[in-house]
Amino acid sequence: MLDIRFVRQNPEAVKENIRKKFQFEKESLVDKALDYDIKIREAIAEGDNLRSQRNTSSKKIGALIGQGKKDEAEVMKAEVAAIGPKLEELEAAQNELSEKLREIMMVLPNIIDPSVPIGRDDSENVEVARYGEAVVPSFEIPYHIDIMERLNGVDLESARKTSGNGFYFLKGDIARLHSAILSYARDFMIDKGFTYCIPPFMIRSNVVTGVMSFAEMDNMMYKIEGEDLYLIGTSEHSMIGKFIDSINEPETLPQTLTSYSPCFRKEVGAHGIEERGVYRIHQFEKQEMIVVCQPEESPKWFEKLYGYTVEFFRTLDIPVRALECCSGDLADLKVKSIDVEAWSPRQQKYFEVGSCSNLGDAQARRLAIRIRGEKGNYFAHTLNNTVVAPPRMLICFLENNLQEDGSVKIPEPLRMYMGGKSEIR
């Protein structure tokens, strides 16, 4: 969420940012916001003036009574009494205007970083770099579910009976591989100096609206009926919410955290939810990384975070590429974002396995996450990035580690979590 003072001082820059994101329908909201802002400040000024009058008159009433001028005192009492209802009307109008202003400010997009490429949608995202050789083997790579089924590792039919489409049962060595990847991801991030956390898997609505845009909320979140609770779509939601309404001492920053959680997503409008696979599903598990830091340090942490994901996948012999999100593909709260995509030998293309985002002070402003400063408190910057999210990650893992005889190679870093196994047969 932008600071209204910034909008007041830079209305054309805010509009230009909206145009860069191809959200032309929001341009008029800037003028509406400024109009509400003027009326709110006028109401505040008028209220302050009325309170000053009331204080002055109240003092005069006492003096008049002391002078024996009771009639004049009564007239002034009536004038003071009339100020009360006027103040109530002003405060009600100010609250209504403030709510309308907040509604607009919640949908105005964050100012994107100057380095972000301009484009309408994800088709115009820009490749930054490739890591590892994207190999297409001489033998045929089956569909990932076929690989899992041959290894007796998945049961989609039973999941449809218990839960519907978009769910799964993992079994045997595939289920163990799923857990091994998460355990390795946890230890990988701990070795990078991050603190491991397991957060709440449900959060209140004020945290939801603090960490994401309304559009994302409607498309993603499952609401708990009859309670002010939502199932999290990623542990970032809980982990950033952990700092709500806090004033952080500078020496305690940066906060570098890595969190495990199940994730639940409606996937409204998603294509392929009905298809036979585990790429886009309603429930999955994820290891995440979160940073809360000084504003000037967030660009450095952004580079570090997506670099950790690249390094993680490369230790498992999976080729990846980094793809910078263009302006039109950025969610409204994001300043800058890079997707990490893994190589699929079967499809002979890359697909998304993680996303790294710098949100500037947008989440901190909504959730009141501040840093104590010598000249006043100021808002922190927040960042998040996926370490790994199986079972989607299992797709690229199985395809890249499949052997011609149908076995799956287990890279060295995972073997200690797989009971020493070097392959799955």
Q: What angle do CA 33, 39, 45 make, to 5 degrees?
A: 135
Q: What domains does the chain contain, in order, with CATH numbers?
A: 4-105 (1.10.287.40), 122-424 (3.30.930.10)
Q: Give the C-alpha separation, 336 to 341, whole Å.
A: 17
pTM to 2 decimals?
0.89
pLDDT tens readout for residues 207-229: 999 998 766 777 788 999 999 99
C-alpha 179 chain-centroid distance: 25
Cβ burial 158-176 (10 Å sphere, 16+ → b, else e): ebeeeeeebbbebeebbeb
C-alpha 158 chain-centroid distance: 33
User: Rounded to the nearest 10 degrees, what angle do helices 11-20 and 27-66 cross at?
Assistant: 150
By the 8 A CB rule, do 354 and 405 touch? no
255 forms beta bridges with 292
The DSSP letter of residue 289 is: E
pLDDT tens readout for residues 3-27: 999 999 999 999 999 999 999 999 9
How many C-beta atoms surround the C-beta of residue 214 within 10 A? 13
CA–CA distances in Å: residue 246 to residues 72, 110, 199, 294, 369: 52, 22, 18, 14, 5
Name the strand (E) or helix (H) holding 98: helix 70-105
Reduced to 3 states (helix: H, G, I; strand: E, B; else coil), residue 188 is: helix
Joined together, the tokens standing for residue 174 give: 């595939």
Tell me the pLDDT of the chain (425 aa) as tens digits: 899 999 999 999 999 999 999 999 999 999 999 999 999 999 999 988 888 888 888 778 777 777 777 777 777 788 878 888 888 899 999 999 999 999 999 999 999 999 999 999 999 999 999 999 999 999 999 999 999 999 999 999 999 999 988 899 999 999 999 999 999 999 999 999 999 999 999 999 999 999 987 667 777 889 999 999 999 999 999 999 999 999 999 999 999 999 999 999 987 555 554 456 788 889 999 999 999 999 999 999 999 999 999 999 999 999 999 999 999 999 999 999 999 999 999 999 999 999 999 999 999 999 999 999 999 999 999 999 999 998 889 999 999 999 999 999 999 999 999 999 999 99
Q: What is the DSSP string of 13-76?
A: HHHHHHHHTT-GGGHHHHHHHHHHHHHHHHHHHHHHHHHHHHHHHHHHHHHHHHTT-HHHHHHH
| Sheet strand arrangement including 222-223 | 202-203, 230-231, 222-223
358: amino acid identity, one letter: N
Reduced to 3 states (helix: H, G, I; strand: E, B; else coil), residue 12 is: helix
CA–CA distances in Å: residue 335 to residues 149, 221, 357, 394: 42, 22, 8, 30
Joined together, the tokens standing for residue 306 give: 């997506």
